[in-house]
Chains A and B, each alone.
Chain A
Amino acid sequence: MVDNVMEAKHVFKTYGKSGKKKQEDEQFTDKEHIVEAVQDVSLKIKKGDIKLIFGPSGSGKSTFLRCMDMLEIPDKGEIYLGDECLTSKGVDLCKARARIGFVFQHIYLFRHLTAVGNVELALRQVLKLPKEEARKRALDALAEVKVSDCAFRYPSQISGGQAQRVGIARALARNPDIILLDEPTSALDPELTGEVIDTLRDLAKEGATMLIVSHEMPFAREVAEEMIFYDEGKIVETGPPSLFFNAPNTDRARQFMTRIINRTTR
């Protein structure tokens, strides 16, 4: 029995610079055109862990997170969900993704459905719950993230902060083994990030397992067991928040922390 909820083993993912995916039959021989977003990244997450990935933009953090959900297929390496290897052939990825919650930076709610419809859809189509039960669970999930008052409104009729909390409810409602969050607050106005952070803090208290890409440092300090500094496609340094807030071991992490802390206090 494996006690890891998720594990990444030596994952690689390369892009052409145009953002074009590398096709099997073509090679990006020209070094200039290669972006090595994920280079030999390994990571373990146990039940109840909260890990936070941070680092410069364009370093490949989001790509790595998307590889964890197999939204991007890694070029090399293995992704495990429990003891199931998602990167081996013939795995039912839909079933696997049903056990993983994913929260997008730009939210990506289903535009033609109300908030409750957004949460309900997977409960009906993936978990095959009967109508009433799906509705009840969807409303419970919305209540948990405190957006019950928006349940019957469409994504374009609610604020960004509310929409992102609906996005979190959509990820939560299936009781996933883990929630992956890709910069959940960075597309929001500063005054709206607070409400999303509060929601995440509540989830943390309830013992949710989360892997978060974020630069919300006060939040990280409060809830993260481990922070992971990611740069140029690699994990540069990992450690508890106290390490990063006091004295990171690597120069790059130290410079980055200085910049980020100055920015938030200025």
Chain B
Amino acid sequence: MFEWLFSPMAQSWLIQGVILTVEITLFGVMLGLGLGTLLAVGDIYGKKPLKAAIAVYVEIFRGSPLFIQLFLAAYTVPTVLNIRVDHALMAFLVFGLNSAGYQKGYVKGAIETILGDQMQAGVSVGMSRIQTLRHVILPQAYRIVIPSWTNEFCSLTKSTSALGYLGFMDLTGAGIAIKGSTYEILPVWIVIAAIYFVWITSFAKLMDVVYEKKKIPGVELLMAS
């Protein structure tokens, strides 16, 4: 059942798979957070055309299947434009762009809960709006966003399994390859699922610790009152 775990071939696929999955999820959520923050700020302060463009962007990425976004970016777009690109790089970008569509909402919500008085205070001491965002608003907003961001991470990690079916050697791709060479089905998926589980759970637990550590003393009491 599990003898294949000792085969060097299967081991090397699994290692490749873990590396790609970890890289792509970390890169995806980080790019998503950075881009999501820009989109949130643009949506709050931008003029109407910018807001409309942001809304279109968000709806396209939230409203269409990730699998198709990946397929278009990795295969169709390079073919149509007749350019040679690294497929993995395109996949990285799609996860970042897709995650930004979701994270924009989390960041915008967090910014808006703290914007009013804190922006006035920041501007009153002579800082620009951008300085105030950078030094006052975002440090508070990111603290609020951590739990939603952790959820986004969990969800994004599992979405990366679409890569395996597009021919990438991520964890799911490794599973498909091992399955093809060993004819074991259930045991392979059990192992793959366990690896996803360990990765997601340990990262989520780590973020819980960060969330507690970064809490502003006394502020949760203020928010409840």
Contact = CB atoms under 8 A, between A and B. Distances in A.
B122 interface: yes
Contacts of A71: 120, 123-124
Q: Among B126, B135, B218, find the residue whose CB has the most chain A CB atoms closer than 10 A.
A: B126
B126 A122 contact: yes
A202 B43 CA distance: 45
A51 interface: no
B127 interface: yes
A259 interface: no
Given A94-B128, A97-B124, A97-B126, A108 B118 contact: yes
Given A71-B120, A104-B120, A156-B222, A111 B216 contact: yes
Given A97-B123, A102-B124, A111 B131 contact: no
B81 interface: no
Interface in A91-119: 94-95, 97-100, 102, 104, 106, 108-112
Given A104-B121, A157-B217, A125 B222 contact: no
Nearest to A180: B124
Contacts of A111: 114, 118, 140, 216, 219, 222
A94 B216 CA distance: 28
A43 interface: no
Contacts of B122: 110
Contacts of A157: 217-218
Given A104-B121, A125-B135, A156-B222, A112 B126 contact: no
Contacts of A112: 136, 139-140, 143, 216, 219
B216 A156 contact: yes
Nearest to A153: B217
A170 B125 contact: yes
A122 B121 CA distance: 11
Contacts of A171: 124-125
Interface string B190-224: 00000000000000000000000000111101100
Contacts of B221: 156
A99 B131 CA distance: 17
Q: Among B117, B124, B136, B139, find the residue whose CB has the most chain A CB atoms closer than 10 A.
A: B124
Interface string B69-84: 0000000000000000
Interface of B: 114, 117-118, 120-128, 131, 135-136, 139-140, 143, 216-219, 221-222
19 contacts: A71-B123, A94-B128, A95-B126, A97-B124, A102-B125, A104-B121, A106-B117, A108-B118, A108-B120, A109-B121, A111-B118, A112-B216, A112-B219, A122-B126, A126-B125, A126-B126, A156-B218, A156-B219, A171-B125
Interface of A: 69, 71, 94-95, 97-100, 102, 104, 106, 108-112, 121-122, 125-126, 154-157, 170-171, 174
